[in-house]
Amino acid sequence: MPQFLNYQGRVTVGGTNFDGTGQFKFALVNATGSTNYWSNDGLATGQPVVAVALTVTKGLYSVLLGDTSVPGMGAAVPPLIFAKPDVRLRVWFNDGASGFQQLSPDQRVGAVGYALVSANVDPTADVCGQRLLIGTGHALSGLYSTIAGGTMNGATTNYAMVGGGLRNLAIGAGSTIAGGVSNTAIGLEATISGGEWNWATGAVSTVSGGYGNLAGGFESSVAGGELNAAYGTVSSVGGGYGNIASGFGATIPGGYGNLASGQYSLAAGARAAATNDGAFVWADASSTNATRSTANNQFTARCAGGARFFTTAAATIGVQLAAGGNAWSATSDRNLKEDFKPVDSRTVLAKLVATPVTEWHLISQDPAIRHIGPMAQDFKAAFGVGEDDRHISTTDADGVAFAAIQGLHEVVKEKDARIAELEKRLGSLEDQVRQLARQIERSPAAP
């Protein structure tokens, strides 16, 4: 379609129809005239610089606006300017004596100009009432439904849309399939962005892409991957392979063969099964067996290579659980310590002896579960170590125990030395007694 408009106008000079060659300038402007949508020389605002010479006969002239073969008409008319609801033609005229004058009023462009928009429509398009159909082999039956391209696609309910691709089917009202192959959007306002053989059956559900994925729960979503399923209401699978999120609000960020069936549960890694409400299970790739939660609101992790927690940005201070181990090891490297002070082990022993040690149960646990130990407040008051008076660091508890053992060892050594001295003295006395006894035996009997 030619991108120019046929316009006829009339000019007078001093009330008399003009005859001769006139100089004209043209612009398509907005309703207020402040913006040029188009001008004969491409100027974006105001009066064009270049003029177009036209023959005027008895005041009448004709021009093809945008015909670049006409001298001075340097720009074609862009069809998309007629996406604007109000486009007006502004004309300037010069009779050769009085200079350029803006003719009044601006003329609003009618339907012929807006027909230029059709230059942007696929020439094979079939615009059917309130539906849009582009491409071939489609099934289009919904009110206000759209198939914008591709082949063998279907939009069979109201407001449904298929953007393109092959054998995609938008069945749910207001559902959308952007493209891809053999995707099916059944749920109300369900969306499939692309990929192949994906299904969005839940209301307002979403599959972003991938292969063979299913978003079956209300407002559920699968971001991608292969053979993943989000059945639970507002559940989600980020990707990976063969994952199932079936609990309300359950989440699987990715990985392989994971299951999140508990409400608000989260499973990640390889073959993690969060089957309890609020459970978080992370499983490494060390085994083909599943790692499962056993209680609500439980954190479970399988990490055959060990676990580490750092409390410094440099990752030098913290605790670790060694591979195959069953106890935490705290950082105790001499090179990570400073400000060393000697400890009076006997004083520590005395303080420990004076510190109350009782048996008790935690308020948060069953009363049948008993524990033994000091109170953090008493420990802090006695030894003055640790971050606060509500916790006892295992490092400090071990340190107190070590110092007390050393103090006890010193006391025992002293007692051993005293006992040895007393045993020596007792042996000497026993020798003296035996000597006296022998002397008595050898002495003559008294008369």
| pLDDT digit string, tens, across residues 134-164 | 788 899 988 889 999 999 999 999 999 999 9
Contact between 407 and 346 under an 8 Å Cβ cutoff? The reply is: yes
C-alpha to C-alpha distances, 118 to 83, 89, 219, 347, nearest whole angstrom: 11, 20, 38, 97
- Assess contact for 230 and 214: CB atoms under 8 A: yes
Domain 5-120: give its CATH code: 2.60.40
More confident: 123 or 226: 226
pLDDT band at residue 81 using 50, 70 and 90 as cut-offs: confident
Cα distance between residue 88 and residue 32, in whole Å: 9
| Cβ–Cβ < 8 Å for 109, 89 | yes
Q: How far apart are CA 56 and CA 152, in angstroms?
A: 57
pLDDT exceeds cutoff 80 at 114: no
pLDDT higher for 131 or 238?
Answer: 238
Amino acid symbol at 97:
A
Task: Specify the pTM.
Answer: 0.66
**Average pLDDT score over residue span 7-13:** 92
Is residue 130 scored above 90 in pLDDT? no
pLDDT at 120 over 70: no
Identify the three-state secondary structure at position 124. Answer: coil
**In the numeric block, which tokens belong to residue 37?**
């949508």
Q: Which H or E run contains 423?
A: helix 394-442
Among 80-84, 210-214, 336-340, the range scoring the smallest mean pLDDT is 80-84
Residues with Cβ < 8 Å from 134, sequence gap 6 or more?
A: 122, 124, 125, 126, 147, 148, 149
Report the alpha-carbon distance of residue 441 to residue 155 in Å, rounded. 132
Give the residue-averaged pLDDT of 174-197: 97
Q: What is the DSSP string of 315-359?
A: S-SEEEE-TT--SEEE---GGG--------HHHHHHHHHHS--EE
82-86, 293-297, 341-345, 416-420: least confident range: 82-86
Using pLDDT thresholds of 50, 70 and 90, give the confidence band for residue 127. Answer: very low
What is the distance between the alpha carbons of residues 183 and 194, in angstroms, rounded to a whole number?
Answer: 8
d(C-alpha 16, C-alpha 242), whole Å: 85
If you search the block for the tokens 């990976």, which residue do you land on?
Answer: 240
Please give the pLDDT value at position 126: 46
What confidence category does residue 129 fall into, taking pLDDT thresholds of 50, 70 and 90? very low
Residue 52 has pLDDT above 90, yes or no: yes
Question: What is the per-residue pLDDT for 115?
Answer: 59
Please, what is the angle between helix 394-442 and helix 345-354, to 10°? 100
- Of 189, 226, 194, the closest CA to residue 205 belongs to 189
* CA 409 – CA 402 distance, rounded (Å): 11
The mean pLDDT of 285-312, rounded to a whole number, is 96
Give the pLDDT band of residue 3 (cuts 50, 70, 90).
Answer: confident
How confident is the model at residue 75, as a pLDDT? 85
How confident is the model at residue 133, as a pLDDT?
A: 77
Q: Over 70: is that where the pLDDT of 124 sits? A: no
What local confidence, expressed as pLDDT, does residue 117 receive? 56
- Of 156, 144, 160, 153, the closest CA to residue 179 belongs to 153
Distance CA 110, CA 319 (A): 78
DSSP 242: S
The encoded tokens of residue 45 equal: 């605002």
pLDDT digits (tens, 9 = 90+) for 254-294: 999 999 999 999 999 999 999 999 999 999 999 999 999 99
Average pLDDT over residues 114-131: 50
What's residue 101's pLDDT? 94
AA identity, residue 172: G
Q: Specify the amino acid at residue 86.
A: D
Cα 238 to Cα 251: distance, rounded to the nearest angstrom: 8
pLDDT of the residue at 443: 81
Q: What is the pLDDT of residues 95-111, one digit of tens each?
A: 999 899 999 899 998 75
